[in-house]
Structures are given as structure tokens and as C-alpha cells.
Chains A and B, each alone.
Chain A
Amino acid sequence: MSNTSITEIVNKNLQTRYKKEARFRRYGQLSIFIAVTFLFIFFTSIISKGYSAFYQAEIFLKIELQQEFIDPDNTNDLEEIRYGDFDGIINESLYSLFPEITKRSDKRELRDLMSSGASIKIQQLVLEDLSLIGKTINIWLPLDDEVDMLIKGNIDVNLPEQSRRISDLQISSIETLQTQGLIKNKFNKTLFVSGDSRESEQAGILGALVGSALMLTITFLIAFPLGVSAAIYLEEFAPKNRFIDFIEVNINNLAAVPSIIYGLLGLAVFINYAGMPRSAPLVGGLVLALMTFPVIIIAARASLQSVPPSIRDAALGVGASKMQSIFDHILPLALPGILTGSIIGMARALGESAPLIMIGMVAFVVDIPTSPLDSSAALPVQVYLWADSPERGFAEKTSAAIMVLLMFLLLMNSLAIWLRNKYEIKW
């Protein structure tokens, strides 16, 4: 009698319990779906905003390199030629395309279509080959960033003329040029070969890339040997006492200290106390090294732990000293794992910007750094700086810089995974 009632109760509840089960399962699926959706939105938004920065509108001009503009006194002196009126030459060529435009103010609007980088390009051509003077060349030259934005469709032409930064005359002349096939989108080489600039069409990430590379080199040279040595000590030699416990607590906490605090440390110690130069990759590398140090220790310890004790016993058994067993047998086996962990730590250091801002790496630096003591930008900081720029051209540049940054991170992580798969031994 009572047995049946329990079965009845159980059977009666079974449906609701199964429903609950299914619902709970769906919650799990939903949350995974949400996480994946975030990632999807994220990449779509960055890529859709940034891909257009990889090409740039250029204009095909027939340029007469007239002597009276470049070197009126016929000095043939490079210094004289450097100050030649290259803008004038370009403008002449541009005016000749629109003989109907004669008013001074209209001519100025026409002039504003060109990027200020165009004259520099001509100047460099002439400086490299003086025999060009007096000849006529056909060349693709960069247009202004506002024109670039217009051609990429980022400017609403239906707005009243006063509220856009490009005039009706400019729009109509661009359309004429486009129908003549004189304006084309070309691969934006500038982005990869030049430093920062106030003009978005001339801004590039090379300076930031070199800065980041210098910094990561310093970080690796400092943090890797120190981190591995510390891990070897703690894993193989450390006695069990309170001092060692204290070290371990320190390491675990350091790995979780907010990165901006490391920036404050760098500012107070390296810059104000030791008098190192501001915004230098050396200081940035040191700060990132302090940050990466505990990460490498933790990775290296895990990797050392995974080497089976039989290896050690065998080495000791054939008469190796403890130090020899570690450096000749355990460390080589643990090294792929250590490297994998370190590369992941370095990738994190590459993406880090808060501590770099603290040590003054937000300075506007045009030159490509040549030594770790030069002022320099870093890739993530460049993203931050460009994201702050009000000019429209910089928005797509920011996304492009982000894509380059993510690509480097992807490369580093793939390298780590490749190392792990190739060399990791399953014991």
C-alpha cells in the first residue's frame, strides 16, 4: 500500500523534475551561446570598422617637375632642393585637371584634397634622383583623410555643407575624378612603414611595433632567466620553512596585483628614483618584466612538477650531482612546458598598456625608436592614443592597429600551442 503511494508520488513529480533538468541544461547552453555571441559581435565590430584602413584613396597625377618650383636658382644643392615648392607642383597638376575652376577660394578647396604627405613623397623622389628635375612623371599620390573617409562612405553627403568637413565643390570634383578613373583605393603601405602622425592618412604603427618589440625583448631577457631560476629553487631546493612559505605567498599575490600598480612602481622607482628616461622601452621592459616574473615562475613550477621522479632518480643513480640531474635531465624535459607558459605570459605583457601609460609612454612620438633609451610608443598604447583622437580617420586606424595587435597575440599563442604539441611528453 505505502509502496505504491511512494511510486505514485515519484512518478507524479517525474515530469516536472525532467522539465527542470532540461531547463537547467538549456541555461548552460544559453550561457555558452552568450559568451560565443559576445566574441562574435566583438570581432565583427572590430573587423568591419578596421578592414578599410588597410587601403587608402590615392590619386593618379601627371606631375611636371619644373625647375622654377624646385630649384629656381639652379644650385643643384640638396639643402636648397629640400625646401623646394613641391606643394606648388602638385597644385599646378591638380588645377590643370579642372581648367574651369579659377576662383582663388575654389582653388584652395581643390588643394585641400591632397594629403600633406603627397609633397613629401615627391620631395623624396627628387632628392633620390636629381635628374628627374624638369621631367614629367606619372604617380599615385595620397589624398587627404577626409577625402578618404568620403570615398569609403563614412561621410554623410546629405548633411548641409556647413556641417561636414568637405565642401560640395570638393565632392563634385572627387566624383569627376572617380569617373575618369584617376582615384583608386590602394593598399595602405604607410600604415606599416611609418610612425605616428597628427594626420591620420600619414599615421603608421611601425614605431609602436618596434617599441613593443624592444620592450618584449628586454622583458624576456630579464623575466625568463629570473623566473626559471626562482622556479627551480622553489621546486627543487627550497626547504620547508616559513620564509619559503612567505616567498610563495608573495609570488601568488604578485601574479594577481593590478597591472597599474606595477606602473606606479616603475614611475616611483625607475623614473623618479633611478632617473631613467620617460617613455623609454627600457623602463617599459623592466616594468613588464616585474609583471611577467611571477607568471613565469608559476608556469615553470607546474612544468618542473610534471617531470616524473624516475628521471631524477635515474640521473642520481648513475652518479650525477643534484645540480647536474636538474640542469642536464629535468630542465631540458621541462623546457617546452616552461616556454609555452612563458610565451603566454609574454603575450599578456604585449597587450598590457596601463603600466606603460604610468611611465609616460603616452607621448606623441613620430620617430621610429632605434635604441631602448629612445622615446617610443607601444602597440597597445598606440591603440589607446588613436582611440582618443577625435579625427574620424583615426577610428578605422585604431581598429586596424587592434587587428595587427590581435594577430601578433594569435601568432604568439599559436607558437605556444605548437611548442606544447610538438615537444610535450605525456608521461
Chain B
Amino acid sequence: MFNYLFVVLIVVTIFIYFYSKKYSIKIRNQSGYLHSLPQYYGFYASLWFLIPSLIIIGLYLIFAESFVTSTLIKSLPNNIKNLPVNELNLVVNDIKNLAVGNIANSSSFTGINEAANFYNEQYELIDKVVFYSSLIMGLLTFTYAYKTISSSYRARNFIESAIHILLFGSAVIAIFVTAGILLSVLFEALRFFDVINFSEFLFGLSWSPQMAIREGQVGSSGLFGAVPLFAGTILISLIALILAVPIGLLTAIYLSEYADTKVRAITKPILEILSGIPTVVYGFFAVITVAPFIRNTGSFLGLDIASESALGVGLVMGIMIIPLVSSLSDDVISSVPQSMREGSYGLGATKSETIKKVILPAALPGIIGGILLAASRAIGETMIVVMAAGLSAKLSFNPIDAVTTVTVQIVTLLTGDQEFDSPKTLAAFALGLTLFVFTLFLNFIALKIVRKYREQYE
């Protein structure tokens, strides 16, 4: 039905476009003047047709379901209508399943088949109403627009303001996405904090999100203290940064200060390849190559290193963020004005002295901004830790222990079959909220520093 409607709409729109265009050409030939080019009149008339019809279809998509459901409930016999809301919803779901032809529990009450038929009939009726009303509405508005076409009508201005609104709307979507993220995560997190105390979540020292299967089971309440997760996340990110910052920074310095164009031409693409590798691939690399290597080295040295050690995960994550650190630092270092270098050389400093005493201090804020961005990337990184880090929450700062992270727990809590409103699943959203707020904070600061720094030398 709807595919059909869309085809009809498209065909009519195209027809209207050419029809109106032709009409405007006729006007131009008759009066010798037309304010805008003919195609603008075509677009103008087809917009007037399309938009009202689309609005009606949009309203249908939003309201039809709840409207049909409420008429369905009104039509049900009294004894069912007066059931408590939960049971009523179950019955309604049964009817709907039956109506679309799924296997349903058809024994829930006598007359369910009639109800399902009624539901289908209602839907068919509404479909028909929408089909014709959207076409008629569109044709009415089109007729109005068609009548306004004249040699002095400014169709181009109309189209241009329509495009202007469209462009503005696209830019505003960015706000909607942020708001969407914040609200969706926030609402579920608030439901979680109804059950679990906020301070217990933020400062609690043990994490074991097991919920009771039966009443009164031992440890049935589940422990939702997220400190071990925060500690694990910070530990792994710290290891990653310890590896990535010196290597990334030195690479950037060498590339921008020492290397000739040939070395740059080879090294830059290599770093770009490193940054383009999907994180799931890094995760596999961590599991299959790095973790066994570290464990074997450990047992060779007489150390008992967990095969999911924070060290291995951190190292691989470090490799992942080297290109990020180096490209951000490279930008910052190259934007230090040449005059500062020349001033330093003029005083007799060597290249490395210039770099250490002049360029790095000047570039420091930008570099710190870059490191903060890299840190936020490491904290939010998911696949490497999901594949290679531990699952059990252990409060430890020992790099050879297996620790777990916030993102690992989000994934573990949300994969598998769970009912959606148990604290266990909601906990994932509370963790997501924490992660979002924290990385947002880091990014905000970092971007601010970088921007301020850039302004300083521009």
C-alpha cells in the first residue's frame, strides 16, 4: 500500500514539475518576461504538491498505531477492557500478532479472531483515508501554487528560502544528535539510580552485577560499585599513553624538524595505515599475538602474567593511538612560527636545543590538548578491551593483572538476553552516561586548549 503511494507521489511530482515548467515557459513566451528560470517554477509547484502530502504521511506514521489501538481497545468486550493495564497490553499484543499473521496465543479470549479482523479493517480504512487525503491535499495546494505562477512571481526566491531552511535544519541535527545521546542515556541511567544509590555506584568498591533469579538468594542484590571499572579503564589508558606519547611525540618532532621529504613521504602513509586499521583487528592482534608473547616473556622471567593482562591490552591500545598523538603534535609543532626557530639558531643553539628549549615549550598547550584527545579516545575504546581485557572486576593497579573496563562491562551487560528494565541492563546506561560525560569533558577542554593555542600564533 505504501510502496504504491510513494510511487504515485513520485510520478505525480515529476509530472507536476514538467507541467509547471512548461506553463511558465508559455507565460514567458507570451509576456516576454519571467522573473526566475522556468525550472524554478517547476520545483516551486512540485514542492507545493509534495510537502503537504508528506506531512499527512508523517502524521500517519506517528499517530496511526496508537489511534487504531485505542479504537481496538474500545471495541473489546467489557470484561477485557477492564483488565489491569499489563494484562490488557498482553491481549492487545496477541490480537496484533494474530492480525499480521504471526503465531499468537489465540486462546486468550473468545472473539480474538473477530478483534484481529476488526484491527485489520481499521488499519485498511485508515490506509485508504491517508492515501486519498494525501493526494487530494497535495493536489489542492498544488492548484493554489499553479495559480500563483505569473511572469512576476519570484519562484527562485521561494526555492532559495526553502533550501536555506533545509540547510539550516541539517546543521541543527547536530544538536538533536547530542541531545538524543544525552537524553536516551540519561533516562535509562536515572531509572538505574532509582534502584541503586548514586554514590554507591560512583564510589562503591565492588562490581558484580548479578541479579537474583529467585527471592532471597545470597548476594541477590548485585553489587554496582563502579570504582574497579574506572580504575581498570584508567590503568589501561595510562599504559597506552605511556607508550604512545613519547613515540608519537618524537615521531612528530623528527618528521617535522629533521626528516627530509623522502622520509616524510614514506613514514606519513605508514602512520595513516596504523590509524586506519579497525579496532576489532587490533583486538584480535592483542589476543593472538601480543598477549601470548607477554605471558611467555613473563614466565621466562619468572612472572605470572595473566593472559588478559592490562599490559598487553594497553600496549596494543598504545599502538593504536600513536598516529593520533603524532598527527596532532605534528600540526601543533609546524604551526610554531619559523621566526622563533631562527631566533634560537641565531643565538647558537643546536637543533635539539631549539626543539627542547623553544619549540616544545611554545607548542606545549597544543600538545597537551592532543594528548587529552588521545586519552579520551583510549578511554572510550571498546573492541580492543572487549576482546583482550578481563571480564571480572578487580580493583588493582598492577599492570600484569587482568582488569576490566567501563566499555567491556557495557558490552557484557547488553549482549545476551536480558529483560530491558532489570538494574543489570540499566547499569550499562549508567556506565554509558559516565563515559559520555567524562569524554565530553576531556574533549571540551582539549578542543578549547587547541583552539586557544592556534589563535595565539595566527
Chain A residues close to B by CB (< 8 Å):
10, 17-18, 20-21, 24-25, 27-32, 34-36, 38-39, 41-42, 45-46, 49, 225-227, 229-230, 232-234, 237-238, 246-247, 249-254, 256-262, 264-265, 267-269, 272-273, 290, 293-294, 297, 321-323, 347-348, 350-354, 357-358, 360, 362, 380-381, 383-384, 387-388, 395, 398-399, 402, 405-406, 409, 413
Chain B residues close to A by CB (< 8 Å):
156, 160, 163-164, 166-175, 177-178, 180-181, 184-185, 187-188, 246-248, 250-251, 253-255, 258, 263, 267, 270-271, 273-274, 276-281, 283-285, 287-289, 319, 322, 326, 348, 350-353, 355-356, 373, 376-377, 379-383, 386-387, 407, 410-411, 414-415, 420, 428-429, 432, 435-436, 439-440, 443-444, 447
Complex Cα–Cα for A232 and B382 (A)? 33
CB pair A405 B281 closer than 8 Å: yes
Complex Cα–Cα for A237 and B165 (A)? 11
CB pair A253 B278 closer than 8 Å: no
Complex Cα–Cα for A123 and B187 (A)? 54
CB pair B170 A233 closer than 8 Å: yes
Task: State the majority secondary structure of interface residues on B.
Answer: helix
Instruction: Chain B residues near A272: list those with CB within 8 A.
Output: 420
Shortest distance from the beta carbon of A278 to any chain B beta carbon, whole Å: 11
CB pair A39 B443 closer than 8 Å: no
CB pair B160 A31 closer than 8 Å: no
Complex Cα–Cα for A230 and B355 (A)? 40
- Sample of 7 more A-B contacts, CB < 8 Å, known A250-B178, A265-B184: A24-B355, A28-B254, A31-B246, A35-B271, A39-B270, A230-B174, A258-B379
Which of the listed residues B164, B284, B285, B381 has the most CB atoms from chain A within 10 Å of its own CB?
Answer: B284
Instruction: Chain B residues near A246: list those with CB within 8 A.
Output: 175
9 contacting pairs across A/B (C-beta < 8 A) = A32-B250, A32-B267, A35-B267, A38-B274, A45-B285, A229-B167, A261-B181, A357-B411, A387-B288
Shortest distance from the beta carbon of A424 to any chain B beta carbon, whole Å: 17
- From A10, A253, A297, contact of B444 by CB (8 A): A253
CB pair A257 B174 closer than 8 Å: no
Complex Cα–Cα for A293 and B180 (A)? 14
Instruction: Chain A residues near B350: list those with CB within 8 A.
Output: 17-18, 20-21
Shortest distance from the beta carbon of B185 to any chain A beta carbon, whole Å: 6
CB pair B432 A354 closer than 8 Å: no
Instruction: Chain B residues near A405: list those with CB within 8 A.
Output: 278, 281
- From B166, B276, B420, contact of A347 by CB (8 A): B276
CB pair B278 A232 closer than 8 Å: no
**Given known contacts A31-B251, A258-B435, is B443 in contact with A252 (CB within 8 Å)?**
yes
Task: State the majority secondary structure of interface residues on A.
Answer: helix
Instruction: Chain B residues near A30: list those with CB within 8 A.
Output: 250
Instruction: Chain B residues near A229: list those with CB within 8 A.
Output: 166-167, 169-171
Instruction: Chain A residues near B377: list those with CB within 8 A.
Output: 256, 258
CB pair B279 A353 closer than 8 Å: yes
- From A234, A259, A297, A402, contact of B284 by CB (8 A): A402
Complex Cα–Cα for A254 and B267 (A)? 30
**Given known contacts A253-B444, A354-B383, A354-B411, is B254 in contact with A264 (CB within 8 Å)?**
no
- From B167, B273, B383, B428, contact of A39 by CB (8 A): B273
CB pair B277 A264 closer than 8 Å: no
**Given known contacts A35-B247, A268-B184, is B351 in contact with A21 (CB within 8 Å)?**
yes
Complex Cα–Cα for A29 and B251 (A)? 7
Shortest distance from the beta carbon of A364 to any chain B beta carbon, whole Å: 12
Shortest distance from the beta carbon of B166 to any chain A beta carbon, whole Å: 6
Residue of B nearest to A297 (CB): B174
Instruction: Chain B residues near A249: list those with CB within 8 A.
Output: 444, 447
Instruction: Chain B residues near A354: list those with CB within 8 A.
Output: 279, 382-383, 386, 407, 411
Instruction: Chain B residues near A321: list those with CB within 8 A.
Output: 156, 160
Residue of A nearest to B416 (CB): A362
Instruction: Chain B residues near A260: list those with CB within 8 A.
Output: 380, 382, 407, 410-411, 432, 435
Instruction: Chain B residues near A399: list those with CB within 8 A.
Output: 284
CB pair A264 B250 closer than 8 Å: no
Residue of B nearest to A323 (CB): B160
Complex Cα–Cα for A32 and B167 (A)? 44
Instruction: Chain A residues near B177: list those with CB within 8 A.
Output: 250, 254, 265, 290, 293
CB pair B281 A357 closer than 8 Å: no
6 smallest CB-CB distances across A and B, nearest first, come from A258-B380, A28-B254, A351-B278, A268-B184, A229-B170, A354-B382
Instruction: Chain A residues near B279: list those with CB within 8 A.
Output: 351-354
Complex Cα–Cα for A49 and B248 (A)? 29
Instruction: Chain B residues near A250: list those with CB within 8 A.
Output: 174-175, 177-178
Residue of A nearest to B246 (CB): A31
Residue of B nearest to A255 (CB): B443
CB pair A253 B440 closer than 8 Å: yes
Shortest distance from the beta carbon of A260 to any chain B beta carbon, whole Å: 5
Complex Cα–Cα for A269 and B134 (A)? 28
Instruction: Chain A residues near B169: list those with CB within 8 A.
Output: 229
CB pair A17 B407 closer than 8 Å: no
Residue of B nearest to A38 (CB): B319
Instruction: Chain A residues near B319: list those with CB within 8 A.
Output: 35, 38, 42
Complex Cα–Cα for A405 and B282 (A)? 13
Complex Cα–Cα for A312 and B75 (A)? 64
CB pair B173 A230 closer than 8 Å: yes
